[in-house]
Amino acid sequence: MSQRLCFISVILFSILLSGCIAYRPNLEQGNVISMASLQKLKRGMTTTQVVNALGHPVLNNIYRNSQLIYVYTLEPPHGKYYHRKLIIYFAGNKVIRYTTDIAQNPFPTD
């Protein structure tokens, strides 16, 4: 009887302990930046037009009003950390150019 009780106790303890392993969802932060987003950008757009097309940037550069910085990160529970950045430069409240790392840092397709 005591061996059976010990066996049942071990089984129940194992079942309860297995529930302590936490589920980790994908951690996504920032603005989603894609090739479709880049195609919306046109030279000469105003800041308001860019914000209407891409949304408000998560990062605000208080030292440079001539830039909008869009950042997106994806951290899967098991796998590689992904980071995308888009910086849009303005002169006279008009887009003059942008830099991005989208081509060098594609997201996984699975």
For the domain that residue 68 is a member of, what is the CATH number?
Answer: 3.30.1450
19 within a domain of the structure (yes/no): no
Domain hosting 91: range is: 24-100
59 within a domain of the structure (yes/no): yes
Q: What is the pLDDT of residue 34?
A: 79
What is the tally of structural domains in the chain?
1
Q: What is the pLDDT of residue 18?
A: 67
Q: Kindly tell me if the per-residue pLDDT of 81 is higher than 60.
A: yes
Percent of the chain with pLDDT over 90: 24
List pLDDT tens digits, range 24-54. 788 888 888 878 878 888 899 999 999 999 9
Q: Between these two residues, 18 and 45, which has the higher pLDDT value?
A: 45
Q: Kindly tell me if the per-residue pLDDT of 99 is higher than 60.
A: yes
DSSP state of 46: B
Q: What is the pLDDT of residue 90?
A: 93
77-103 mean pLDDT: 87
| CB under 8 A, 24+ apart: contacts of 107-110 | 107/74, 107/82, 108/79, 108/80, 108/82
Q: What is the pLDDT of residue 19?
A: 63
